[in-house]
Structure 1
Amino acid sequence: MIGVFPEISGRFLIDGEWHKAKETKQVHNPANIDEVVGEAAACSKQDVTQAIDAAAKAFKTWSRTSVEERAERMKKASEALKPMIEESVSLFVRENGKTLVEAKKDLLRCVEVMSRMADTLIEWWKPVNVGQSAQTVQVRRRPRGVTAVISPWNSPMILTFKRAVPAILAGNTVVIKPATNCPLTVLTCLKVVASSFPDGVINIVTGSGSKIGDVLCTDPRVRAIAFTGSTETGKIIMSQSAGTVKKLFMELGGNDPALILPDAELGKTDIQRIRMGVLRASGQVCSAIKRIYVHESRYSEFVEKLTREFERVVVGNGIHPDAMMGPMNNKAQFEFVKDVIERTKKSGANVAELGQKMDTETWDKGYFMLPSIVSNIDHDHELVGVEQFGPVIPVISYSDEEEAIEMANDTPYGLRASVWTQDKAKAREIADRLEAGAVFHNNHTIFQDLRLDFPGIKESGLSRETQWGSLELFTDSYGFAD
């Protein structure tokens, strides 16, 4: 069991009280599946309804607090969470599989989101005058209501905090549903955060989405849903929430292309950035590079350089400081990626399994997988079209720019993309034509300003974030005229 924070194992939070679940699901260490890290509560539909009850009750008073009080409480909560980072890192690694470096970055980003969004709130909340001089019209904002935050297993911390924090700051109350595969760090950290807010502002339930998710989607008191996860699940949520016309924020699946132009530099830094863009969190990132299109004049050179870079990757238990890539998070995803790779090998494509096993004796005890580069593969291959969500990357050759853009856009997804060239104007020109929520030049990463984020287009998401972060997503604006 979790040694440091046993009080959250198998529990859920409603109206300031932690409840012990009647049924639980074990959370295993993906680096050693025999190790039980803790338990996730298997909440019932009644539990979720009670959580919504508490959030609806708390909303009546929390929504009327001043923006100054909300910001002050969030800043206080961020200060309380800071000392928890170091002691929470190992728990996060053990339940999720990330490396120590990746886990610590995620936790620190959560604190940063809390602090920066609190600083942003007061200026953003101010009314804005619009319209003609003959009539004074103010755009004013009000919180929307109870907000459901449904977060995924791949990056549960930052993707919970980036939705819950602005929702709370905007005056809403939240019911958070972390993924049952790794909810423990989320619960541990939110336990600290919740103590800075009135009871009922933050409520947390865990359990199977197919069993309890429909309660969050159909209850008319839930006025907004922020979901990060698969496109398939997102479509179900859209359908279930349509009856009460909820406001939806969705960051869904992706099949991100990277376009390597003929003049790309392809130096050491570039190749490292591409490797990180592919293999961050073992490739289990919605916005990871999932297919690479390289101009035929640079194809052999690129594959050779990326191969050397992948050969450096040490795969092992993320708790070890020398591990560069940890295991995959769960059996289902591990088996899915394995099967896709096996079918790719049988298709005749060249699959190069690279990297180094940190510990051969314990390798089979976890969901470990060496990274692979697939060359001599066509654009219409299964591996190119699927969101593989694992450490395998297809590299496809192209002959001209139009062909590359057409192939990059030939997908139902549109989350992120990147263009690799020494010509910034050319990168912008191509970016205008790529169907993606965000395009990076000579990188494929996240926005350094964590208030910024742009969900995808097409089947990769809904809504848009701005310089004000997610605050606008969790409010209703209205016009006041006199």
Structure 2
Amino acid sequence: MAISAFPVISGRFLVNGEWIKGARITDVINPANITEVVGEVALCSKEDVIQAVDAADSAFRSWSRTTAEERASRMKAAAHKLSEAIDEHVSLFVRENGKVLAEAKKDLLRCVEIMSKAADALLEWWQPESIPGGQMVQIRKRPRGVTAVISPWNSPMILTFKRVIPAILAGNTVVVKPATDCPLTVLSTLQVVAAHFPPGVINIVTGSGGLVGEILCSDSRVRTIAFTGSTDTGKRIMSLASGTVKKLYMELGGNDPALILPDAVLDETAMLRIRMGILRAAGQVCSAIKRVYVHESRYDELVDKLKKEFHQVIVGNGIHPDALMGPINNKTQFDFVRGLIERTKQSGAKVETLGHKLDPDTWENGYFLLPSLVTGLDQQSELVRVEQFGPVIPIIPYADVEEAVELANDTEFGLRASVWTADSQKAEELADRLQAGAVFHNNHTIFQDLHLDFPGLKESGLSRETRWCGLELFADSFGFAN
């Protein structure tokens, strides 16, 4: 695949329809080749962020009064245009994020799908709903105001579009803050989308989370904050947002357990699903499997089969079609995962590093890690307690299902979980007891239907379930009585 020059949005941010060159910039590095600069990202000032909120607040006054039909029509046109430009964005996404080609393209295609499905959902969901009774009462919807979307570096495309698209379809305006480590594809694709909407409906500011994020979360004109990232940052956002009682939509950390029951079918399909649940995007997924609890009667079998799965993984530059897993996205996370693995080894646990290097000669030029499988740990081990966010997984045996449920729930997180069993009724029973926002049976993935989403429990998130592509999270319902 040909490598393109800097994208046209390099070093720029978007305010009121104008792409502005940043007075200060920093490089965006290819994590698979840290000597390659993919582009530049602007480091916005306080004044830049305030201007973006000004633009969004001003545009809201007219955009909020448009019809649902107009908003859906504009979104459909934008989705069609973006669908025509997917291929030209794939290599950019791989180069700045590290995902392999297949994963990168799938993410971009899902962004277009989000746009189309949310536009269709809007036309039905926006209609007033009458409540039966002696008095005529309707539930009606209204846009809320300026929405701040703060997106992460690990899955920036899907996790930006799943917030931005329903927000503007519901009649809000947005100020988007992409992650500094991986902003370029977000900027480039939203450039295509923003061209179909009035100036100020979509604004994008980049730079320090400590500066940009704090301003967005403190400004009284921002009425909703949609954030995906660490739990610690989420707590800081809650504190800042409390001053003006903003609505919060937050997907935070996860330490997802997978429970392998005695009757689990561990065939090729199941093992591939388990491997992908662990290693998709090099393990840099909030809802990845991060702990595996397996019944002691199946322990040796699972460990042996998972070793074989991990050994098939080819790690390298995602731009190469033979790569099955790419690098860690940035040096901070790379150093954390390497340090975690080293401390795990020093604790006396058995760490088996598997897989193959696609190009050993250039291995040290990127943030590459081979996948590791760890045994000999207990529930209090660091690797079991933290969100590793990398290609390393602890395997822990248990004696009975009661113990497994207790171990799975023994965490401050509660994002996703999975149960692997041939008994679907048993899976449902355990799902009722596992403290997670969603539980999967014989899989550990995302919902195929993009209408659906479920918030994490405990310290993994703050929101509510949605069956309408997230539209419910970005509009206020009110009663009208006659």
The answer to whether the superposition gives a TM-score over 0.5 is yes
CA-CA distance at 1:465 after TM superposition: 2.9
SS in 2 for 1:215: helix
Distance 1:55 1:223 in 2: 11
Which residue in the other structure is 2:427 paired with? 427
Distance 2:88 2:468 in 1: 31
Distance 1:124 1:341 in 2: 48
Q: Which moved more, 1:439-448 or 1:375-384?
A: 375-384
Do the aligned partners of residues 5 and 116 (structure 1) sit closer, same or farther apart at CA in structure 2, a change above 3 Å counting? farther
Distance 2:454 2:249 in 1: 11
| Letter matched to residue 358 of structure 1 | L
Do the aligned partners of residues 192 and 5 (structure 1) sit closer, same or farther apart at CA in structure 2, a change above 3 Å counting? farther
CA-CA distance at 1:6 after TM superposition: 3.1
Distance 2:82 2:278 in 1: 31
Which residue in the other structure is 1:11 paired with? 12
CA-CA distance at 1:269 after TM superposition: 0.4
| Letter matched to residue 179 of structure 1 | A
Which residue in the other structure is 2:334 paired with? 334
- 1:334-380 deviation per Cα after TM superposition (whole angstroms, max 9, x unaligned): 00000110011011111000000011100000000000000121111
Which residue in the other structure is 2:125 paired with? 124
Which residue in the other structure is 1:74 paired with? 75
Structure 2 unaligned segments of length 5 or more: list them.
none
SS in 1 for 2:192: helix
Q: Does residue 375 of the first structure (1) align with residue 375 of the second (2)?
A: yes
Kept in 1: contact 2:147–2:167 (CA 8 A): yes
Which residue in the other structure is 2:104 paired with? 103
Distance 2:109 2:76 in 1: 14
Which residue in the other structure is 1:393 paired with? 393
- 1:185-242 deviation per Cα after TM superposition (whole angstroms, max 9, x unaligned): 0111000100000000000000110012111011111000000000011000000111
Matched ranges for 1:173-184 at <5 A: 173-184=173-184
CA-CA distance at 1:153 after TM superposition: 0.2
Which residue in the other structure is 1:278 paired with? 278
Distance 2:306 2:376 in 1: 15
Q: Does residue 92 of the first structure (1) align with residue 117 of the second (2)?
A: no
Distance 1:451 1:143 in 2: 19
- 1:42-100 deviation per Cα after TM superposition (whole angstroms, max 9, x unaligned): 00111010000000010000000000000000000000101111111000000000000
Kept in 2: contact 1:126–1:140 (CA 8 A): yes
CA-CA distance at 1:469 after TM superposition: 2.0
Distance 1:342 1:50 in 2: 46
SS in 1 for 2:360: coil
Distance 1:4 1:346 in 2: 44
Distance 1:138 1:355 in 2: 59
CA-CA distance at 1:134 after TM superposition: 1.6
SS in 2 for 1:259: strand
Matched ranges for 1:64-213 at <5 A: 64-131=65-132, 133-213=133-213
Distance 2:204 2:453 in 1: 24
Q: Does residue 266 of the first structure (1) align with residue 270 of the second (2)?
A: no
- 1:279-310 deviation per Cα after TM superposition (whole angstroms, max 9, x unaligned): 00000000000000000000000000000010
Distance 1:169 1:211 in 2: 28
| Letter matched to residue 120 of structure 1 | A
SS in 2 for 1:56: helix
Q: Does residue 294 of the first structure (1) align with residue 294 of the second (2)?
A: yes
Kept in 1: contact 2:355–2:370 (CA 8 A): yes
Kept in 2: contact 1:180–1:207 (CA 8 A): yes
Structure 1 unaligned segments of length 5 or more: list them.
none
CA-CA distance at 1:468 after TM superposition: 1.0
- 1:113-143 deviation per Cα after TM superposition (whole angstroms, max 9, x unaligned): 0001001101000111125x22111010100
Count of residues in correspondence between the two structures: 480
Distance 1:3 1:302 in 2: 43
Which residue in the other structure is 1:36 paired with? 37
Matched ranges for 1:206-225 at <5 A: 206-225=206-225
Distance 2:4 2:224 in 1: 36
| Letter matched to residue 329 of structure 1 | N
Kept in 1: contact 2:30–2:37 (CA 8 A): yes
Q: Does residue 408 of the first structure (1) align with residue 427 of the second (2)?
A: no
- 1:370-406 deviation per Cα after TM superposition (whole angstroms, max 9, x unaligned): 0000012111111000000000000000000000000
Q: Which moved more, 1:5-14 or 1:302-311?
A: 5-14
Distance 2:46 2:455 in 1: 30
CA-CA distance at 1:25 after TM superposition: 1.2
Which residue in the other structure is 1:26 paired with? 27
Q: Does residue 255 of the first structure (1) align with residue 255 of the second (2)?
A: yes
Distance 2:6 2:211 in 1: 27
Distance 2:23 2:334 in 1: 30
SS in 2 for 1:139: strand
Do the aligned partners of residues 336 and 27 (structure 1) sit closer, same or farther apart at CA in structure 2, a change above 3 Å counting? same
Kept in 2: contact 1:455–1:461 (CA 8 A): yes
| Letter matched to residue 193 of structure 1 | V
Distance 1:376 1:4 in 2: 48
CA-CA distance at 1:5 after TM superposition: 5.5
Distance 1:267 1:400 in 2: 22
SS in 1 for 2:321: coil
Distance 1:127 1:426 in 2: 40
Kept in 2: contact 1:5–1:188 (CA 8 A): no
Q: Does residue 457 of the first structure (1) align with residue 457 of the second (2)?
A: yes
Distance 2:325 2:56 in 1: 39
SS in 2 for 1:111: helix
Distance 1:451 1:226 in 2: 17
Distance 1:307 1:295 in 2: 17
Kept in 1: contact 2:177–2:212 (CA 8 A): no
Kept in 1: contact 2:148–2:224 (CA 8 A): yes
| Letter matched to residue 366 of structure 2 | G
CA-CA distance at 1:4 after TM superposition: 4.9
| Letter matched to residue 11 of structure 2 | G
Distance 1:47 1:341 in 2: 41
Distance 1:50 1:15 in 2: 9
SS in 1 for 2:237: helix
Which residue in the other structure is 1:61 paired with? 62
Sequence identity, in percent?
71
Distance 1:224 1:149 in 2: 8
Q: Which moved more, 1:122-131 or 1:409-418?
A: 122-131
Distance 2:301 2:153 in 1: 36
Kept in 2: contact 1:294–1:397 (CA 8 A): yes
Do the aligned partners of residues 84 and 4 (structure 1) sit closer, same or farther apart at CA in structure 2, a change above 3 Å counting? farther
